[in-house]
Amino acid sequence: MTMDRHECDVLVAGSGAAGFSAAITAAHEGLDVLMVEKEPLFGGTTAYSAGVVWIPMSDASVAAGIADSSEEALRYLESEVGAFLDRPKAEAFVSNAGKMLAFFERETHVRYLLMPAWSDYHPELPGASQGGRSLLPLPFDGRELGEWFVKLRAPISTMVLFGGMSVSRDDIPHLLNFSRSSGSAWHVAKLILRYAYDRLRYPRGTRIANGNALIARLAKSAFEKKVALWLESPLVRLTQSGERVTGATVKREGREIEVVARRGVVLASGGFPGSAELRSRHYRHVAAGKNHQPLAPPGNTGDGARAALEVGGMMHVEQDQPAAWTPVSIVPQADGTSVPYPHFIDRCKPGYIAVDRRGRRFANEAESYHDFVQRLFAACEGDKVVEAWLVCDHRALRRYGLGVVPPAPMPLGAHLRSGYLVRGESPVKLATTLGIDPAGFERTLARYNENAARGEDPDFGKGTNAYHRFGGDPLHKPNPNIAPIVDGPFYAVRLVPGDLGTFVGLSTDPQARVLDVNENPIPGLYAVGNDQASVMGGKYPGAGITIGPAMTFGYIAARHIASGA
């Protein structure tokens, strides 16, 4: 029986930011591009994300007069990543990142907003920026995708309001202040009115933000450049002629199709956070039998790595951490299932501390989510379960919310009834209900409150750098990250380790070509995004260090393919 055949110049496996970046760049260079996606929805992990990119020396930062240079960016990566830094790949990223973003903002619908106050995550290190390397995608009208809108992967349900209303980072201050500011009240009212109108015709709101907006902008651009996208079409295996990868077998509508890629194949399938087997192999706490909650789509099971290994590719596992960690809480749903919620922002606000089962603080709550989970691992090293509790008082809860629990005047009852939010009339009663050491918790709270009354945190230094302060409340003085926890009742949610995606991935060169076991590039085969070993060496230097390199190496790979080198 003859296998169906399809020919193109470039085959891209995966439909996140990395895959779209490669596809759009190749199409712009005049190449015929086919994208294949195993899931019925497109967007990958990017569609779940904030969509932020870390881009040193972007046109926007230069125009804003922010002092930066390629040398300083590399200096920061050297001081941050250390021995895990692949210098040639880091240089390729830094020298191309600004060019990539300029290309996409000039030639596509992609639009980004500079965040001049969003510092690198370790602003005290040499070469770090106090703000201006991270950029946030602008919201987008999903209706511009036409019939493709319903095929765009929606955000995680815990990250939207009212079952489908997207919220951007710039919307959050208005949501927190809508009962205190007429301007914020009007902003929120417009969001809700738009959402209500959308729900008359669509399954969710069409004003989309964050990574969902980025993917929508990329998809609209790709379709305008005649890029074909096949959904529910997993890559089965790569094909070769001699040592060169010449295409792949793709399964579509129950049939295997031979896809001939005349110029190259780009693997962009999102890494392996959805594979229990690979998590157990690479995540130390999972290998020890402990708990973990991935945030990426379940279909991200390492298809790209598997296919590359079958043709002689090599994995690069020497990373500081195998994945990008974040603390999550588990939110019960009405149908008996549960959905994770990543705690990016609430930990940083004044009046919150995280404690382990002994009732002790173990980390600076305002540090990055990646660093926080590493402290959590250390705190629970001898425990059977990796867990902590994020605690606040009634004042903080009603001012800022906690996890999916909204601030005042929204009600709390449903979250208390589900068990997601735990309440105690006193610290001892809260600790007893949580099953943590009441005496240890009382001692921790007493010490924290004594120092918090002065806006200080001598134990962990919360509020002492630009990154901490960016996540705090600028209106709270003297320290935007610290307030006493004294106004009962007291509340908590349980935190467990999660990941945003994998850092371990295929070994590649500065052109994103997959390397074999002898560190020679495999002709015709490229890996980008989380299929590629992170250029950050398992560290998390700043907001957008996943998507920034993903799009940059997608751009680099496509240009290399188009050059015919």
Give the pair of three-digit tokens for residue 536: 């950050």
Alpha helices in 178-231 (DSSP H): 182-198, 210-224
Q: Judge contact between 500 and 45, C-beta under 8 A.
A: yes
Does some domain include residue 485?
yes
Domain that residue 514 falls in? 4-138+211-271+503-563
Residue 2 pLDDT: 62
Give the integer Cα–Cα distance in Å for 443 and 457. 15
Does some domain include residue 530?
yes
Q: Are residues 363 and 238 in the same domain?
A: no
Does some domain include residue 175?
no
What's the total number of domains in the chain? 2
The CB density around residue 468, as the number of other CB atoms within 10 Å, is 25
Q: Are residues 246 and 329 in the same domain?
A: no
Which of 445, 471, 472, 442 has its CA nearest to residue 459? Answer: 445
Q: Judge contact between 112 and 101, C-beta under 8 A.
A: yes
* Global confidence as pTM: 0.95
Which of 57, 76, 20 has its CA nearest to residue 536? Answer: 76
Specify the DSSP element, H or E, that contains 228. strand 228-230
Give the integer Cα–Cα distance in Å for 295 and 501. 8
CATH number at residue 388: 3.90.700.10
Q: How far is CA 330 from CA 220, 290, 345, 436, 494, in A?
A: 34, 16, 16, 18, 8
Residue 191 pLDDT: 84
Q: Are residues 474 and 538 in the same domain?
A: no
Q: Are residues 525 and 434 in the same domain?
A: no
Does some domain include residue 290?
no
Does some domain include residue 316?
no
Cis bond before residue 478 (omega within 30° of 0)? yes
Last residue of a domain, one of 467, 482, 499: 499
Q: Are residues 114 and 251 in the same domain?
A: yes
Residue 181 pLDDT: 82
- Phi, psi for residue 514 in degrees, rounded to 5: -70, 135
Q: Are residues 362 and 423 in the same domain?
A: yes
Q: Are residues 468 and 520 in the same domain?
A: no
CATH number at residue 236: 3.50.50.60
Mean pLDDT by 10-residue block, N- to C-terminus, for the chain (565 residues)? 86 98 98 98 96 97 96 98 97 98 98 96 98 97 96 92 82 77 82 85 93 98 98 98 97 96 98 97 97 95 98 97 98 94 96 98 98 98 97 97 93 96 98 97 98 98 97 96 97 98 98 97 98 98 98 98 90
Q: How far is CA 201 from CA 44, 151, 197, 406, in A?
A: 25, 15, 8, 27
Residue 189 pLDDT: 82
Residue 390 pLDDT: 98
Last residue of a domain, one of 474, 499, 524: 499
Q: Are residues 391 and 445 in the same domain?
A: yes
Q: Are residues 329 and 428 in the same domain?
A: yes
Give the integer Cα–Cα distance in Å for 503 and 529. 9
Residue 183 pLDDT: 84
Give the integer Cα–Cα distance in Å for 212 and 168. 10
Q: Are residues 478 and 547 in the same domain?
A: no
Last residue of a domain, one of 455, 483, 499: 499
Query: Three-state SS for 378?
Result: helix
Does some domain include residue 194?
no
Does some domain include residue 241?
yes
Q: Are residues 427 and 490 in the same domain?
A: yes
Residue 159 pLDDT: 85
Residues whose CB is less than 8 angstroms from the CB of residue 151 and which lie 6 or more positions away in sequence, other chains included: 40, 41, 42, 231
Q: Are residues 116 and 251 in the same domain?
A: yes
* Helix, strand, coil % in the chain, rounded to nearest 5: 35, 20, 40
